[in-house]
Amino acid sequence: MQGELNLTRMKIAVLHNRRPAELPEGAPDDTFEEYDGPETISAIVQAITGLGAVGTPVEANVRMIETLREGGFDFVFNIAEGTGRRCREAVPAAICEHLGLPYSGSDPLTLAVALDKWMARRVVSPDVPVAAGLLFDGDADLTTLRLPVIVKPNDEGSSKGIRSGAVCADRASAVRRALEIQCQYECPVLIEEFLPGAEITVAVRGNGSSAMVLGMMEIAPAVESGEPFVYSVEVKRDYLRQVCYYVPPRLPATHLAKIGQYALTAYRLLGCRDFARMDFRLDAAGAPRFLECNPLPGLNPVSSDLVILSRGLLAYEKLVQGILLDGMARAGIRWSYR
């Protein structure tokens, strides 16, 4: 355990990946969907400054090791998505551990497993029910799944690769969509039975026995069209027109209690720390099924689901400050305001 630190003298690195202004030639238009804009970094730094500490943006690029090593930082507020493929979110956290720098959020193992949706499903199930699904390898037997199915990249976030054609009513179109995703994103493809019920996202914060459900939110279409509702990348970009958010969800208290229990169980089984967001969807019978875990949920001060969900519970700066202070406490850092 470190000695007591004065928050007004602490230097905190805000480790992030900034969204580039231009896409690489031929890349999908959602390539950098997970990365953060300047408004998010500025808002986090401002929240940290509100505690009296000094927040400094640090990009998670090839120079981050030198920047973190030479910066004299006391702590890292980590929202970096990393670069590369399956293990990219784990790399910035692993570098912090290599340098002996305490940081907020989950460790490299949890970040790697959670990004791989197929692996995350295997970790939480059967304690937490999941939708029937399979990992497409070009020759999968789709006859084991009931139609319709939803087809999505296995190790992407922020709805990358999930488009308006993600729900397929027949096996031939599902295979075509899976092959398109493999070609565009160069990653495995997850195919799951499409769940027609409400989509619920759950915010969890804290550590160990003190971990708690911060809140829940139902994500619903603004206008019922009769078509399957998917929280696709196009819908997220146009959420003000296409989405209604209900906090709390429009479900009986018993259903909400069950979803909250599943969220906490998944949080524990995956080894999440400080905060995370768990996504669920209800099947035709109204039973919740785990979709994925987001151990680095977005913190855009306006549009991120976690922020929208918690807006009526606490101010944005309190949300960010709570994540920071939870991480410091978990790391054994005692602080004062002297």
Tokens 């920047």 belong to residue:
67
Residue 337, pLDDT > 70, answer no
CA distance 238 to 257: 31
The larger pLDDT score, comparing residue 78 to residue 28, is at 78
* Amino acid 227: pLDDT: 85
* Amino acid 7: pLDDT: 76
Q: What is the mean pLDDT of residues 279-307?
A: 97
Q: Specify whether 16 is located in the same domain as 100.
A: yes
Strand partners, 18: 36
**Which of residues 146, 173, 193 is at a domain's end?**
193
Q: Specify whether 152 is located in the same domain as 283.
A: no
Q: What is the mean pLDDT of residues 24-39?
A: 89
Does a structural domain hold residue 151? yes
CA distance 163 to 184: 13
Does a structural domain hold residue 225? yes
Q: What is the mean pLDDT of residues 32-40?
A: 93
Q: Specify whether 168 is located in the same domain as 201.
A: no
Q: Give yes or no for a contact between 273 and 106, defined as CB atoms under 8 angstroms apart.
A: yes
Query: Is omega for the bond preceding 24 within 30 degrees of 0, making it cis?
Result: no
Which structural domain, as residue segments, surrounds residue 154?
133-193
Does a structural domain hold residue 305? no
Q: Specify whether 73 is located in the same domain as 28.
A: yes
Q: Specify whether 38 is located in the same domain as 177.
A: no
Residue 85, pLDDT > 90, answer no
Q: Specify whether 233 is located in the same domain as 124.
A: yes
Q: Specify whether 78 is located in the same domain as 179.
A: no
Residue 4: pLDDT band (50, 70, 90) is low
CA distance 52 to 276: 25
Residue 1: pLDDT band (50, 70, 90) is very low
Q: What is the mean pLDDT of residues 104-131?
A: 97
Q: Give yes or no for a contact between 251 and 218, defined as CB atoms under 8 angstroms apart.
A: yes
**Which of residues 169, 193, 217 is at a domain's end?**
193
Q: Give yes or no for a contact between 305 and 217, defined as CB atoms under 8 angstroms apart.
A: yes
Of 291, 14, 307, the residue nearest 159 (C-alpha): 291
Residue 75, pLDDT > 70, answer yes
Does a structural domain hold residue 173? yes
Which of 30-34, 194-198, 215-219 shows the lowest mean pLDDT across its residues?
30-34
CA distance 179 to 331: 44
Q: Specify whether 118 is located in the same domain as 234.
A: yes
**Model confidence, pTM:** 0.94
Q: Please give the tally of structural domains in the chain.
A: 3
CA distance 212 to 204: 6
Does a structural domain hold residue 223? yes
Residue 67: pLDDT band (50, 70, 90) is very high
Does a structural domain hold residue 303? no
* Domain at 188, CATH number: 3.30.1490
Does a structural domain hold residue 224? yes
* Amino acid 23: pLDDT: 87
**Which of residues 152, 176, 193 is at a domain's end?**
193
Q: Specify whether 30 is located in the same domain as 174.
A: no
Q: Specify whether 276 is located in the same domain as 202.
A: yes
Q: Specify whether 265 is located in the same domain as 242.
A: yes
The edge-to-edge listing of strands for the beta sheet with 133-136 is: 133-136, 189-193, 149-153, 167-168
Residue 66, pLDDT > 50, answer yes
Q: Specify whether 33 is located in the same domain as 65.
A: yes
Residue 20, pLDDT > 80, answer yes
Of 324, 110, 27, the residue nearest 205 (C-alpha): 324
* Domain at 40, CATH number: 3.40.50.20
* Amino acid 5: pLDDT: 63
CA angle 126, 262, 109 (to 5 degrees): 75
* Domain at 248, CATH number: 3.30.470.20
Residue 262, pLDDT > 90, answer yes
Q: What percent of the chain has pLDDT over 90?
A: 81
Neighbours of 129 (CB within 10 A): 14
Does a structural domain hold residue 148? yes
Helices (H), the chain: 38-49, 64-70, 90-99, 108-115, 117-124, 171-185, 233-237, 239-242, 253-269, 305-310, 316-330
Of 129, 91, 96, the residue nearest 112 (C-alpha): 91
